[in-house]
Amino acid sequence: MPANLIQSAIDKLRVQLNSINVDGLLISEYNKQYLNKYKNNFNFYMHNYAQLLEKTIAQLDKPIHESVFVDYGGGCGILSFLAINCGFKQVVYNDIYHESVQDVQEIAKAINCDMNHFIAGDIDQLFIELEQQNVRPSCICSFDVLEHIYNVNAWINSIAEYPLKLSVIAMTSANPENPFINTRLKKLHQQAELIGFEKNKSWKPSDLNTSFLNERKKIIAKHFPAVKKTQLQQLAAQTRGLREEDIISAVQEYIDNGKLSYQIIHPSNTCDPYTGNWTERLLNLEKLKQYIRSKNLQVSIHNSFYACSTNKLLNIPKFVLNFLLKIAGNQSLLLSPTYTLIIKKRRNNN
């Protein structure tokens, strides 16, 4: 049974993590912070990972021991370690940050976890290296990554163009249909856009903590010094959601034609103008599904249940919410703490 298998994998990971002194590892400060967070809140996070793995296993066309698991945007490697403990034939750890790839290699050694492949880069580089290493993925899985992808349509295009059949299972807590989450994340967007955040040890060196709006002003002023102050403010506001190269293209278009073809759709979504990393992006799920289907891919979106804690009083509303979620069915997101996007690619060009 998948539930028993996943629980065994979680129990093993608990022992593995408890066997190490995270602060003594030769890894980056931000991954130390994340790893300690997982250790200190183990049950909460494992509740989410268990649901993600259960959905992933349900999509497999072959037994687990014959399947290849890709952890996309794997961070400090927790999902990869669980997949290994579940008994996947091969596990591929992938992250866009080279430092995280190096960190997870060190963590894997420390917990005696034998991982097969480490790949640095985004989706296109991932597919290139999988082909070069003759690795045929059964599933690509991610936790809290989807909401940060700069160009989701381009990401979907890469999946659609990949010649082998596979499943993509992406779980995220940026649920736009839960009104409480929606309101909270919009406030977070506003802070990132207008104010910024205090940087701490859990931040990557490349993470921007100052106002995104002000940084776009700097980019425009640097590349277009002739732009007037009033235009600068307007153009910086109208290029929200673009990274540097696209900001430059948009402003050049404005200078040449007197207008911008780029249109901001969402009232608050914003991204780092240097990396393109979105601040907990709230996606339009209906449009997302329509686009995925236009690429001849199967798609579905599922809810999840709340993790209970040792606080019995706090658990009461969670029990009620979980009961309501069960009645509503797995595609009702109104009360859900997360959503899981499942893309099924049936076509096989080989």
Look at residue 348 in the predicted model and tell me its pLDDT. 55
* Predicted structure pTM score: 0.94
Phi, psi of 60 (to 5 degrees): -70, 140
For residues 189 and 193, give the distance between their C-alpha atoms in angstroms, rounded to a whole number: 6
Q: DSSP for 136-187?
A: --SEEEEES-GGG-S-HHHHHHHHHH-SS-EEEEEEES--TTSHHHHHHHHH
Classified as helix, coil or strand, 318 is helix
Q: Give the Cα separation of 81 and 9 in Å (integer).
A: 9
Q: What DSSP state is assigned to residue 335?
A: T
Regions of the chain with pLDDT less than 50:
349-350
- Summarised one tens digit per residue, pLDDT across range 196-254 is 998 877 777 788 999 999 999 999 999 999 999 889 999 999 999 999 999 999 999 99
In contact, 130 and 158? CB cutoff 8 Å: no
Q: Which residues of 44-77 are buried (b: 16+ CB within 10 A; e: fewer)?
A: ebbbbbbbbbebbbebbeeebeebbbbbbbbbbb
202: amino acid identity, one letter: S
Dist CA 191 CA 308 (whole Å): 30
**pLDDT recorded at residue 173:** 97
- The Cα–Cα gap between 28 and 314 comes to 34
E-only strand ranges, the chain: 68-72, 90-95, 117-120, 139-143, 166-172, 298-302, 339-345
**Which phi and psi (to 5°) does residue 232 adopt?**
-60, -45
Phi/psi at 220 (5° precision): -65, -45
Task: For the chain, state the CA radius of gyration.
Answer: 21
pLDDT at residue 1 in the model: 60
| CB contact at 8 A, 213 and 239 | no
Here the contacts of 224-229 (C-beta below 8 Å, separation 24 or greater) are: 224/251, 224/252, 224/255, 227/251, 227/255
- Alpha-carbon torsion, ordered 112, 118, 121, 125, to 10 deg: -160
Question: For residue 91, which phi and psi values (nearest 5 degrees)?
Answer: -125, 130
d(CA 51, CA 303): 10
**Cβ–Cβ under 8 Å, residues 251 and 239:** yes
- Report the pLDDT value the prediction gives residue 350, as an integer from 0 to 100: 41
User: What are the tokens at 38?
Assistant: 């997982």
Q: Which residues contact 134 (CB under 8 A, 6 or more apart)?
A: none
Question: What residue type is assigned to position 344 of the chain?
Answer: K
Asked if 344 and 292 count as a contact pair (C-beta separation under 8 A), the reply is no
Yes or no: say if 335 and 178 are a contact pair by the CB < 8 Å rule: yes
